[in-house]
Amino acid sequence: MWDYSEKVKDHFFNPKNAGAVAGANAIGEVGSISCGDALRLTLKVNEDTEVIEDAGFQTFGCGSAIASSSVLTEIIKGMTLDDALKVSNQDIANELDGLPPEKMHCSVMGREALQAAVANYRGEEWQDDHEEGALICKCFAIDAVMIEEMVWANKLRTVEDVTNFTKAGGGCAACHEDIEGILERVMKERGETFDPNAAPIEAVVMEKKPLTNLQRIKKIEEVLESLRPQLMADGGDVELVEVVDNTAYVNMTGACSACQMAAMTIAGIQQRLMEVLGEFIRVIPASQMPKVAVAAGG
């Protein structure tokens, strides 16, 4: 029996943004029902700012696939397309407080659907077709490029790791030797030695000790203080109103309060905070703060 976090269970039983977005102008489809998992991601993108105003998903798959898709839509709403493309499968898993190793491929599917949707919006060609000779796992149509990318990004070290993150090797096992070859080559480039008998990595969770709310507030204040001179040079400013869990509520003041680019400024602050804190955090105008949070802050 796999051990699922409370966040995974919540997003499974109470999925956010399920269904197609009305008036969507970006669509990303990945996976195959015949292979067991499929995801259709729809986005409504502001054509002037490229900010994702709404996101929805339709998933055919297990509970982890539903939870990963649900949390992905929550993460990317309010982001620009460029910032959204920086969201990794580790970010998706971390926001769910980890996934069982055998279900990490669900977070990878979400990342690919996002890439496909952005390409669709920009009129670019994105496809998961495979060049002749590049296909490694015929059972699940996984190519060498994807396997190598996942090995690098997630520091995978065993065939079991690769199967957990990509599903490659989870069928007939005929591709295990080729997967070992990719692992050996990448690990050599990383300065490591491939050991076919090594233990697989554990579920992806936040490795560092989570910040206390007081520590989080202090770091947020430090980041805002570093950004303040740039905002004040344009006649604006930002103040922290409240921090509730991983959500920071701010007030944009001065010229920033009426600026048409306020949403992009907030998205930029959010990105900077995530880089410094090393965790996902949402930055939201204080005007959107729930009444419960207001009462707690007052």
Please identify which of the residues 35, 62, 139, 259 carries the catalytic annotation: 35
CB atoms within 10 A of CB 106: 30
- Buried b / exposed e across 58-74, counting CB within 10 Å, b at 16+? ebebbbbbbbbbbbbbe
Phi, then psi, of 11 in degrees rounded to 5: -70, -25
φ, ψ of residue 162 in degrees (nearest 5): -60, -40
Instruction: Kindly state the greatest CA–CA separation across the chain.
Output: 64
How far, CA to CA in Å, does 13 sit from each of 25, 243, 285?
A: 28, 26, 28
Query: In the annotation, is 137 catalytic?
Result: no
Clarify whether 172 is annotated catalytic: no
The answer to whether residues 39 and 31 touch, using CB atoms and an 8 Å cutoff, is yes
Catalytic residue among 106, 137, 175, 256: 106
Backbone torsions φ then ψ of 244, nearest 5 degrees: -125, 110
Catalytic center residues = 35, 106
